[in-house]
Amino acid sequence: AQSVTQPDIHITVSEGASLELRCNYSYGATPYLFWYVQSPGQGLQLLLKYFSGDTLVQGIKGFEAEFKRSQSSFNLRKPSVHWSDAAEYFCAVAPNQAGTALIFGKGTTLSVSS
Amino acid sequence: EAGVAQSPRYKIIEKRQSVAFWCNPISGHATLYWYQQILGQGPKLLIQFQNNGVVDDSQLPKDRFSAERLKGVDSTLKIQPAKLEDSAVYLCASSLVGDRGYETQYFGPGTRLLVL
- Considering only the beta carbons, identify the residue of A41, A43, A98 that sits closest to B101: A98
- Considering only the beta carbons, identify the residue of A32, A44, A105 that sits closest to B102: A32
Q: Which amino acid is at B64?
A: R
pLDDT band at A31; cut points 50, 70, 90: confident
Task: Return phi, psi of residue B86, to 5°.
Answer: -80, -5
Q: Which residues of B44-80 are buried (b: 16+ CB within 10 A; e: fewer)?
A: bbbbbbbeeeeebbeebeeeebbbebeeebebebebe
Smallest Cα distance from B96 to chain A, Å? 8
Question: Could you give the 3-state DSSP secondary structure of residue B96?
Answer: coil
Question: Could you give the 3-state DSSP secondary structure of residue A106?
Answer: coil
Q: Can you state the percent helix, strand and coil of chain A, rounding each to 5? A: 10, 50, 40
- Give me the pLDDT at residue A2, please: 80
Measured distance CA(B67)–CA(B50) in Å, rounded: 13
- Considering only the beta carbons, identify the residue of A4, A42, A98 that sits closest to B102: A98
Q: What is the per-residue pLDDT across A53-112, written as a single tens digit (0 to 9) for each?
A: 889 999 999 999 999 999 999 999 999 999 999 999 999 998 766 667 899 999 999 999
Contacts of B30 in chain A (CB under 8 A): none
**Cβ–Cβ under 8 Å, residues B38 and A104:** no
Asked whether the beta carbons of residue A99 and residue B55 sit closer than 8 angstroms, the reply is yes
DSSP bridge pairs for B22: B7, B76
- Give me the pLDDT at residue B100, please: 57
pLDDT of B80 strictly over 90 = yes
Half-sphere exposure of B110 (CA within 13 A, CB side): 21
State mean pLDDT over B40-65: 93
User: What is the residue-averaged pLDDT of chain B?
Assistant: 92
Peptide bond into A31 cis (omega under 30): no
Q: What is the per-residue pLDDT across A39-52, written as a single tens digit (0 to 9) for each?
A: 987 889 999 999 88
Asked whether the beta carbons of residue B109 and residue A42 sit closer than 8 angstroms, the reply is yes
User: What is the residue-averaged pLDDT of chain A?
Assistant: 92
CB proximity A40 to B under 8 Å: no
Measured distance CA(A82)–CA(A88) in Å, rounded: 14
pLDDT of B99 strictly over 60 = no
Contacts of A100 in chain B (CB under 8 A): 98, 102
Asked whether the beta carbons of residue A99 and residue B109 sit closer than 8 angstroms, the reply is no
CB proximity A32 to B under 8 Å: yes
State mean pLDDT over A36-41: 90
Contacts of A23 in chain B (CB under 8 A): none
Q: Cα A98 to chain center, whole Å?
A: 21
Smallest Cα distance from A89 to chain B, Å? 10
Beta strand B111-115 with B10-13: parallel, antiparallel or unpaired?
Answer: parallel
Helix ranges restricted to H, chain A: none
